[in-house]
Structure 1
């Protein structure tokens, strides 16, 4: 198993490693050289190599640029798309709506009407 790069959490590192491998496979299936993808993404070749190895120290924008260059930018939309846990926590913390108390008519209103 690879060394835990950048001090990331082991489950997160597994996800990044798998994502990097998928990015590499996508590039190879398209028969695109690494130098071309790095140039199009505006990153150094070493940064692309780090992405393909799942290095957590690489900026998210670099990952996004590479995905765009490979035509996989639609996959970015699924990241944190529906936060079910966050919704449940928010709903649990919402106050119960109570009806506002009725305001008694002041005596001034009745005097003006007379």
Structure 2
């Protein structure tokens, strides 16, 4: 049985679209053809096209392979690196324990 499609909100779609565009620009700056990048990433040309369009159906693993082929794989470590909200919530709990 197929899984239920999860909705994607406009703000999320915009983020994915912008990310895909950054990937495309990185490829173009390196003067790498779409066919070559797809081959180096071990994906099809159509999957690369979907990634560059920001399709939510493209997996994180595929994005990572594209980043690696562009020598940008270390950038994946920047995702969610600075969890400001989580740290604030943690500080609130710590402060309330200290005051108790």
Question: Smaller-chain TM-score range?
Answer: 0.7 to 0.9
Report the number of matched residues.
93
Question: What residue ranges of structure 2 are gaps of 5+ in the alignment?
Answer: 1-5
- Displacement of 1:91 in angstroms is 2.5
Bigger mean CA offset, 69-78 vs 9-18: 69-78
Partner SS for 2:57: coil
Equivalents in 1 of 2:45, 2:7: separation in Å?
22
Superposed, 1:1-114 pairs within 5 Å as: 7-94=7-94, 96=97
Deviation string for 1:43-89 (max 9, x for gaps)?
A: 11111000000001110111111011111122212110011111111
Structure 1 runs, 4 residues or longer, greater than 3 Å off: none
Looking at secondary structure, tell me which structure has more helix per residue: 2
- TM-score normalised by L of structure 2: 0.82
Over alpha carbons, which structure has the higher Rg?
Answer: 1
Distance 1:31 1:54 in 2: 20
The Cα offsets for residues 22-45 of structure 1, whole Å up to 9 and x where unpaired, read as 111111111111111111111111
- TM-score (normalised: structure 1): 0.73
The Cα RMSD (Å) is 1.8
For structure 1, which runs of at least 5 residues remain unmatched after alignment? 1-5, 99-114
